Chains A and B, each alone.
Chain A
């Protein structure tokens, strides 16, 4: 049984101007200890996906159809009490901005111990010992001192380490990290990513890494999803997707990276920008920006087609797969 199974998930935000579908028909599975990257532009639905897994969506957002199964249990149908025992305990989440995640008026120690006592029956002294151990694991210098400090006394990189330490406190099976290094500098980002990778490998923790940085995804994850306008458009092993992208959008994204172009030459740009979720074009949502657009792209949603170990939602792939089938029959 996979650790996490997401099936045909639809997430809807009911607004006065009408319902906005932030996620459409999202399905994927995650095995124990696997690291999955979710990439896409802002507004593609990456963060909503992270939130909806542990049902942190707040009104007017809600899961309108589909299911999220964690170790076989349907998270959407759990009672709030049961869900609380999973949140923070078995599945923990790391957010982008550590200053927003940490409570500014409580010391680091209080916040860590509170989290432990909420989920485990243990004495305060034991909880403190565990907190210290976790701070050591994330390589924070002089951890005893940190327990008595407030978040504002620490630097950005240090705060994000603390947030990671809190995420690891209860030895979760799954960590959802939503842009964990976007607010940090490159040298600190490299340290934090390396740290997360090692911790996940050592403790066999599964990771969902939500980011817009393809470089980070390629270094940390084993599989990746590419999202566009609320849908998954390509998924597969990270190396294959990055080295041999099939969907025109993924290709465009790779080619738009400055390191892919000859210095001084023009970058390969994707024309236009992502449509707002209120008015997504009919058929394939990428069709106004796609350079290979065909008639069928305006009419029907592209189905997922297998290509190697990847799955791609593009009519071009579907057609060439059909051609191959017909060839076989002849």
Chain B
């Protein structure tokens, strides 16, 4: 398959669940005169398979609680998957020890949502940027490190003479530039960005997005971009993966997804974006709320809110199927040509 040769990161059949039942004593309970042990889990990711191609910006969108951030963190190795595999350039990385993981850490970096929380308040910017470089290149001379820091600071538009300042002295947009600089400092190939602009104002969002696009061009970066903002996706993404309740419902090239969304959930999501042009919202109304990931619905996870759901949707879990136009969609309705 051509797809596999070109892929940088491969996620296959990923599952992640979190226990919410507490310790042993919390799990024990009396039921009908018997002592029973009960375990409950949040099923955050349920069988997601994705591959990120070299040089692309793959956007993952979905509502809060759909598992998009969990995917990002699992890919980075910040969480261990419950089941499934993650490979980087064909090598499996999810089961490596910390030491074995080290060379991959240098190639994969992450940008977090909140620049107020992700920068150490007790470190100067210089120290923040020096740490990853020294850690990953122990043989580098001090003067080389200094030059490297100056270079990355310049590349994100932060004056190198501000290096002695602390992060609280900067505005939100500048802080996010600094976290991007920290990610770029070790010359990574792959960057996972988890909602990097949603804490910023519109005029600052544009600055940070431009910066990320510039960096991608200059350094030939690959992005896994997590966001809930579809307008940003349309502008930034090469391909888009739409998630709902821990499963992938649709995966398509950006242009195609926006011109011809196939999954009923994608269609509803698209129609809900507030647009400047039209007058009154003419959106597809979804009934009900997102079910909890503790007790997943049977069959298709979206069937409770889907206007096209039928008996098969309630029973059978749909799988991603490749359509003629290159879109991959997990929907019985699309498969049967009734949506």
Contact = CB atoms under 8 A, between A and B. Distances in A.
B302 to A, nearest CB: 12
B281 A219 contact: yes
A207 to B, nearest CB: 15
Contacts of A158: 289
A247 to B, nearest CB: 13
A25 interface: no
Interface string A177-205: 00000000111111101100000000000
B254 A273 contact: no
A267 B235 contact: yes
B276 A215 contact: yes
Interface string B254-275: 1100000000000011011111
Contacts of B231: 257-259
Interface in B275-315: 275-276, 278-281, 283, 285-286, 289-290
Given A190-B272, A219-B280, A266 B63 contact: no
Q: Give the size category of B's interface with A.
A: 35 or more
Interface in A215-264: 215-216, 218-219, 242, 252-254, 256-259, 261, 263-264
B258 to A, nearest CB: 9
A212 interface: yes
Interface stretch (B4-12, B21-29, B200-208): B200-208
Interface string B210-240: 1001100000000000001111101110000
A42 interface: yes
Contacts of B64: 185
B63 A273 contact: no
B158 interface: no
B209 interface: yes
A268 interface: yes
A219 B274 contact: yes
Contacts of B279: 219
A215 B275 contact: yes
A273 B158 CA distance: 13
Given A186-B63, A186-B273, A270 B203 contact: yes
Contacts of B269: 186-187
B276 A242 contact: yes
Given A215-B276, A218-B274, A219-B274, A273 B281 contact: no
Contacts of A271: 207
A155 interface: yes
Contacts of A219: 274-275, 278-281
Contacts of A269: 203, 206-207, 210
Nearest to B265: A187
A212 B201 contact: yes
B230 A186 contact: yes
Contact of A257 (B268, B271, B276, B289): B276
Contacts of A274: 201
Given A186-B230, A186-B269, A187-B272, A157 B236 contact: no
B318 interface: no
The winner among A185, A189, A214, A261 for most chain B CB atoms within 10 A is: A185
A189 B174 CA distance: 29
23 contacts: A41-B202, A155-B290, A158-B289, A187-B268, A187-B269, A215-B274, A219-B274, A219-B278, A253-B203, A256-B203, A257-B231, A258-B232, A258-B234, A258-B235, A259-B231, A267-B206, A267-B210, A269-B206, A269-B210, A270-B203, A271-B207, A273-B171, A273-B204
Interface of A: 41-42, 155, 157-158, 185-191, 193-194, 212-216, 218-219, 242, 252-254, 256-259, 261, 263-264, 266-271, 273-274
Interface of B: 63-64, 171, 173-174, 201-207, 209-210, 213-214, 228-232, 234-236, 254-255, 268-269, 271-276, 278-281, 283, 285-286, 289-290
